[in-house]
Every structure is written in structure tokens, then in C-alpha cells.
Structure 1
Amino acid sequence: MTKIYVLDTNVLLQDPNAVFSFADNEIVIPAVVLEEVDSKKRYMNEIGRNARYVSKLIDGFRLTGKLHEKIQLDNGGTLRIELNHRSFHQLQEIFVEKTNDNRILAVAKNIALEEETKTNGRPVILVSKDALLRVKADAIGLYAEDFLNDRVVEMDHLYTGLQELYVDIDMLRRFYEKGEIESKEYVNQTLYPNQFLIMKDELGSSASALGMVDQSGTIIKKLVNKHDSVWGVKPRNAQQSMAAELLFRKDIQLVTMTGKAGTGKTLLALAAGLMQTEDLRLYKKLLVARPIIPVGKDIGYLPGEKQEKLRPWMQPVYDNLEFLFNTKKPGEIDAILAGMSSIEVEALTYIRGRSIPEQFIIIDEAQNLTKHEAKTILTRVGERSKIVFMGDPEQIDHPYLDEYNNGLSYILEKFKEEEVAGHIKLLKGERSELAQLAADLL
């Protein structure tokens, strides 16, 4: 039996192609949703872009028929704009205020009541990214679902870049003697290119080894990074050593790092970028950028020139640079950076249209990027450049993103089988014992 799906505005603003995600079922878009989409299309951000895309998409549907009656979609489903079920009578005693959310609820509830009177009435389901709207729908006896089609993976299955194996002690001896082994002789599961392995003795002894799958996915090799200290920063745990391996490998052009606050993502990436730019001269410039998403209430417009406006947003980057340059006085880092044309701290707002060759690029807080924004950034990378995306998918400040549909998760999952990419999830906090305790408990 086919179903009727009533879409909330946030579904279309999150994925403008959402109407094609419901197979051969009927899609209903309440008229109030069109009003909300129209109010967002002037925004100069991802939400505005999606609103404009949805507007053009629905306008194009007019060529196939009358939208208020029903039109056929290419995937076998149908779509209609709902104008005749706006009555608020069923909800007026429960939800007094006629907000847009309540008007969408009213449309879905009225269609559901109409279907109940039919012999072969179809189930009516409200689809929304708004948790409270789903709760309200459930309270009035209406089926409601989250829109999960935009998720990269199912729950708790994000690629970590690291796998623990229990192997024969003879394998460990051969690995130490030869420096590499063929994975098919010892491992009966799929391994990805540039994936890290912690191999332990299956009998329980203390013998263990760190390995990395080569780009063919068939050979396990020892880590080759020879930089014990990078601008005064030493890896403090196995995952940080793996991160350093990825950051210094010339044949790995895309690095993704995830981890809780304080695991050392930004500091390691900056240290590796500075060494390869300033000391080894492998790149012409170090570019550091991050999305401008406030963690609480926005502070509004900021005075001054562009760099002065950017400073509050980029302060976490400056904090790490001050540590690496060992500055003592306030403002000293600004003078240092002013004299070093090879370091650029920028906001992602200005990256569209650029081509960035021969640079070491760091994108911090990448979990606040949408899939489209992540793609836009990645397609800016020029010849002989290396790009590092990092962030914590559990700390998202964007209203329409979650752990499984953000740009960082999207990139690490899509590139996990590619030879030019590597990923590692940092597990242990090294900022301080208090910071690690807070990350674990809170």
C-alpha cells in the first residue's frame, strides 16, 4: 500500500531534492511550506541557496500538470501542493496559536482524518527535522518521522580510520622483521586504503604493533613518519602518531580528522602545516579557514576592517599559533603573521570561486559544513595542494545538521576507499585532565 508523506519546510531546506526520496508514494507540500521557503530564498547562505533551488524545482513541475491536483514524478511517486485541508478546527482546542508549524500539523491531520473514512485509506506520515513538531504530531495521533535519507551512514557506524586486530604472534614477528606483510594472509575482512591497524597478540601477551594499509589495500606496512617533534609538538598517543603520518604523507592529498575537544586536531595540523610550509618548503602557503557559525547567540555586526571582524571567529586558530610560536606578549602573533606572507587565516565565506594550488589547507570545525559547502571547498583545491578537514561531529552548531549528515562525515565516508585520502579519529584528550573529564562526562 502506498503512503502519503506531508513534508515540513526544514526537510526541503536541508535536502532540496527530498521530494525524490519517497519512491512511489504521494508527496504533499502544504501551502504554508511554500510561504516559509519563499521567506528564506533571499538568504545569502546554504539555506537561501536551497530555498532558491526548491523554488525553481517546483516551478519546473508546473510544466507537467497542475500542482494542486497531482503531478507524476520521475521516480514513480506523485506530488501535490495542498490547499484544501487548511482548517484549524481539529486543533484549535489543543494548539490555540496558528503558527506555521501548527498549520502544517493541521494539514496533515485533516488529510489523515479524510483517509480514515475511505475503504482503502492510506497511512499519512508527517516528515520533519523538527523534533518538537514530531512530538506534537504524536500527541494528536499522527504518524511522524525524521528525514534520514540525507544521512551518510546509519547510527554509530562512521568510519574511524582505525581497526584493532588480534593476530598470531608469528605474524607480529614477521611484521617487525620485514616491515610489511600481505593482509590477505592474516586478515579475512575488508581493509581500506591508508587505514590504520593496531595489531595485538591473540594469546594475550603485551606484544603489539602499529600498521597502515597501503594504497592498494593489500599490504600492511609500518608507519614511516620520521618527525618525532613537529614545531615543538610531540604526538602523545597512538592516534596522534597516526594523524602525523597522514599529515606528512605526500601521496595523501586529503586528510580528515575527527575527535572530541582537546584531542589535538588543530594543533597537530597547524604544526605539520608550518613545518612543511616554512621549514621543508613543500607548499607555498599555509591557509587556515573555518566556517562562521556562532556557538550561542550571535554577537551581531563587528567594527573594523575584514581582519578585525574575523578575529573573534578565528581566535581558536590564533590561540594555537601563539602556542606554536611561543609568543609572550599580547598582539605579538599579529606582528609575526604580518611579516610572514606564507600564512593566511581566512573565513570560508570568501572561498567560492578561488583556485588554491601548492598550499597546505586546513579547514577547522568542518562539522558545521553542509555537504554542498564541503564539496565547494574540496573542488577549490589546486595542483600539489593538501587539504585537511577536521572537527567533532558531536559538536554541531548548525540548525539543520547532525552527526550523520554534515559535510565532514560526508567527506570521510565518501573518500574512505580512495587512495589519495586518509582518516583518523582521535580518542584521547591531551589538553588537560579537566578538559578530558569534561568531554567524557558532559
Structure 2
Amino acid sequence: MAASRLYVLDTNVLLHDPHCLYHFEEQDICIPMTVLEELDNIKDRQKMIAKEARAAIHAIDDIVRDAKVGQITKGIPIPSASGKMKLGKLMVFPDHELAFRKGYLPNGNEIHDNSIINCALHLQTTLSNLEVVLVTKDINMRLKAYGAGLNIVEDYRKDQLITDISMLPEGHRRIEGDFWTTVENVQTQRSGHEVYHKVSPDLLPSVYMNEYIYDDHDFAARVVSIEEDAITLLDLNREKLMTHSCWGVSPLNLAQAFAMHSILDPSLDMCIINGAAGSGKTLVALACSLEMVIEQKRFNKIVVTRSTPPVAEDIGFLPGTEEEKMTPWLSAIHDNLEAMHEGDDQPQSSVRYAIEKGNIQFKSLNFIRGRSIQDAIVLIDEAQNLTPSQLKTILTRCGKGSKLVVLGNLAQIDSNYLTAVTSGLTYVVERFKPFIGSANIHLNGVVRSRLAEYAEENL
């Protein structure tokens, strides 16, 4: 079957998913020469996306490596990894000379978008048998492309699991009224200090693993097993949840209590905490981490990294050791440590004690991605700026005896080619819903101050 579409890929699509070339089924793909130049410019720099640039270059090379002279501009068949699906062709188009032709956008060293748009415009004009589609994750570029006369411009959504951020699960579900009045049959059993209830799946439709359940009275529980004929709930003492303290920090609302419970639970390997600025994500995660390292001695250290683009790009230009370089970017950790000890006689001494006794290590993103971390609790802050591919790389670095706490705010994405629905944070929340060793909690409500709460709601 001949291709009916030709997809022209922007650089950010290849950076977002270096293996995207195999996701367009039987349709053809075009990569402008400008895109190859941008990938080459990124791959050798100390950027968070350098690894993705190199992976994309290798993916292209795997396809065109054995091409004959002149064949690459006409199209080379893309091999199917499984051999079961017929894929289209990949071509590289020399787009530089198009800027000098009448009717095309001006080009320049800093206007790479225009070159890529010109390429799509040229192919749209010359290839009447194909629908030419520009694929980019840059919203402004999509607007420019439409304004320049392109008929079809799309976002890359292969790894987008939801279409609206409101569909993202919160990790906790409220049952109106009294939950037990709706239960006709229940099997209750005790195992050590824990109490479990088996109830009918009809009572809790569409629940997922480790989702927290609560009602308007005193009931609170977590889903620990889902079977065809029964859902097993771990009964939680709601009063105990709300009064529990870690390193002097107690929850201010039920969502924070669920977050603390999930982080402290040794049966969970990963906790995803997302919520607005000031909702207490970092404070809760840090307090629980100190409790587990210093008091419970379950881990040997706390590894903290902040995964925003400037961290990995600019760290090399700062003086000092890796830890000293990371300090300006991880001031939020120091702020929260100071908040925990503000009532102490010597708060700065208490902060230093917590850092030393808790063995808190500030590491760059490159450290996390290149090592296997053992017997540590790893805090990844600002995870909303990671792509699914980047977050996958980090998750696979956690070794035996380690626990990962992923923190993020989907309303504060700094990446040029990520949105709330395509962020790696959103992707991981959806993908890990069935996993028995993971829980996600959305912290609703700003507890920082009434000013911060009003700004979050009204600005």
C-alpha cells in the first residue's frame, strides 16, 4: 500500500521521542537538513537533551547507513523492528536554498523554524499525490506554519495517553456519605497490625492499584489488590494518618497524609507527588526522607536532583564541585529545611545537622542517568520538565534497596516542546496506574500562604 502522507519532522519531535521514526506506520517521513544540523549542534553540548539528540542521530543512521548516492533524498524504506508491520520511507531534504526563492519565509542562523516550514511548503507544492504534514511540538511554530500557508500541522502525540489534564487521576477518591452503608458483603481479615477488607468491584468501579479511598466520615483505605470478583482494601486509621509526624512535620490535609503514607510504605518503590506551588510536595517528601534515613535507618542517603533544563545546561559554567554547582538550583530544599527548623534555638545548625546526618547529596541529572543508585531515597524535583524518554532513563537507574519520589507541578512547565498532557510526569502517572509498587498523589490546595493561594487561583 502506497503512502498517502508525508510527515515533515521538527527537531523537537526527535528530541522528545528519538524512536519516533518507527511510529508513523506505513506513511513516509521527511527530515529537513536543518533538523540534522540542529541535532548535531545539540549532541556535543552539556545539555539535558544531548542524549536524546545522539539517540535520534543513531536512529536515523540505522535507516540510511547503507543507502546509495542520491537515494537518501528520494526515500529509503524504514525497516520494521518486528517485521510484521510495513513502514514507509525516510528521506532527508536539502532545505537551505528555499529561503532565497520567492514566497518562502526568510532564513538565518537563528531562524531554523523558517527553514523547516519552507521545506514543508515546498513539498506541499511539489508533491500533489501526498498530504504533507508538519509535525512539531512548538505551538508558536504551528501558528507560523498555518500563517505561511501549510494545510496540515500537527503535534506529536504518540506517547500522549490523555487528551485533557483534568483526566489525570488524583490518586485519591472521595466517596460521598458513609462508605460502609453501601457495602452488603465484606470479608475482613487481619495480618499482623494490618486490616484488609474484600468488597465487591461494583462498589468501586474504575479504581486502580494503590489508589486511596475515603468518605465523608472516618473511613480511609488504599486499594492493594484488584481481582475480577473482589477488591482488597488496606484499612487506614484516619486519625493516625492526620496526627502522624515525620521530622516534626504533620499533614495539614488528607492528601498530604496520603502522600506521607505512600512515601513511608516500604512496599512501594515509587511515589509520584504532583500539585500546585505551595501545596507541600517538597516539604512532605523531604520530611519523610529524613525520617527514613536518620530515625528508621532504612536508607543510607538522600539523593536530590532538580530536573529543569537550565540545571544540566548551565552547571558546567558554575565554579566548585558538583554539589556546589547544584546548590543554586536546589535552594528549594534549603528553604524547606529552614522551614522545618525555624522554631529551633539555632536553626542553621539544625539545617547543617539534617544535611550531614541525612547524608543529603545534591546531584546533577547526568549523575542520576549514568549510575545505578543503591540503598537511597531519590527525590526528583520539577519532573514536569522531563520527557517520557528522559524519565524512563532515570527510573531505570534506581537499583536494589532504593526508592524514588517524583515531584512536579504540571502548571509550571519550562520546556519549549512539552505541555501538561505530553509531560513525562503525566505519562508516568498513567503508565504506572496498574503497578503494585507505585502510588501517585495529587496535592490539592496551597498551604504556603493566603497570598500564594490567591495567586495560584487567580493569576
* Alignment TM class, shorter chain as reference: 0.7 to 0.9
Contact 1:61 1:67 (8 Å CA) reproduced: no
Q: Which residue does the alignment assign to 1:392?
A: 409
- The correspondence for 1:413, drawn from 430, 437, 458, is 430
Query: How far, CA to CA, are the matches of 1:414 and 1:161 in structure 2?
Result: 13
Given the superposition, is the C-alpha separation of residues 279 and 372 from structure 1 closer, same or farther in structure 2, using an over 3 Å criterion? same
Shift of 1:431: 0.8
Shift of 1:299: 9.7
Q: Which residue does the alignment assign to 1:312?
A: 328
Amino acid at match of 1:384: G
Given the superposition, is the C-alpha separation of residues 30 and 333 from structure 1 closer, same or farther in structure 2, using an over 3 Å criterion? same
Amino acid at match of 1:238: L
Given the superposition, is the C-alpha separation of residues 122 and 348 from structure 1 closer, same or farther in structure 2, using an over 3 Å criterion? closer
- The correspondence for 1:238, drawn from 250, 254, 257, is 254
Pairs within 5 Å for 1:130-209: 130-142=138-150, 143-156=152-165, 157-166=167-176, 170-171=180-181, 181-184=197-200, 186-187=202-203, 189-200=205-216, 207=217, 209=219
Q: Which residue does the alignment assign to 1:110?
A: 122
- The correspondence for 2:382, drawn from 358, 365, 371, is 365
Shift of 1:408: 2.3
Alignment coverage as a number of residue pairs: 430
SS in 2 for 1:431: coil
Contact 2:372 2:397 (8 Å CA) reproduced: yes
Q: Which residue does the alignment assign to 2:136?
A: 128
Given the superposition, is the C-alpha separation of residues 145 and 86 from structure 1 closer, same or farther in structure 2, using an over 3 Å criterion? farther
CA-atom RMSD in angstroms = 3.0
Query: How far, CA to CA, are the matches of 2:114 and 2:386 in structure 1?
Result: 30
Q: Percent identity?
A: 32
Does 2:312 match 1:303? no
Q: Which residue does the alignment assign to 1:431?
A: 448
Given the superposition, is the C-alpha separation of residues 81 and 172 from structure 1 closer, same or farther in structure 2, using an over 3 Å criterion? same
Contact 1:199 1:211 (8 Å CA) reproduced: no
Query: Deviations 1:9-31 (Å, cap 9, x if unpaired)?
Result: 22112211222222211211222
Q: Which residue does the alignment assign to 1:27?
A: 29
- The correspondence for 2:232, drawn from 180, 198, 219, is 219
List gaps (5 residues or longer) in structure 1: 201-206
Shift of 1:376: 2.9
Shift of 1:164: 3.0
Query: How far, CA to CA, are the matches of 1:380 and 1:298 in structure 2?
Result: 23
Please identify, of 32-41 and 420-429, the stretch whose mean Cα deviation from structure 2 is larger: 32-41
Please identify, of 312-321 and 346-355, the stretch whose mean Cα deviation from structure 2 is larger: 346-355
Given the superposition, is the C-alpha separation of residues 56 and 230 from structure 1 closer, same or farther in structure 2, using an over 3 Å criterion? closer
SS in 1 for 2:29: strand
List gaps (5 residues or longer) in structure 2: 81-85, 189-194
Amino acid at match of 2:10: D
Query: How far, CA to CA, are the matches of 1:281 and 1:215 in structure 2?
Result: 29
SS in 2 for 1:408: helix
Given the superposition, is the C-alpha separation of residues 59 and 432 from structure 1 closer, same or farther in structure 2, using an over 3 Å criterion? same
Shift of 1:195: 0.5
Contact 1:172 1:208 (8 Å CA) reproduced: no
Please identify, of 327-336 and 360-369, the stretch whose mean Cα deviation from structure 2 is larger: 327-336
Given the superposition, is the C-alpha separation of residues 300 and 436 from structure 1 closer, same or farther in structure 2, using an over 3 Å criterion? farther
SS in 2 for 1:129: coil
Contact 1:288 1:362 (8 Å CA) reproduced: yes
Shift of 1:198: 2.9
Amino acid at match of 2:155: D
Query: How far, CA to CA, are the matches of 1:433 and 1:176 in structure 2?
Result: 43
Query: How far, CA to CA, are the matches of 2:315 and 2:297 in structure 1?
Result: 39
Contact 1:294 1:397 (8 Å CA) reproduced: no
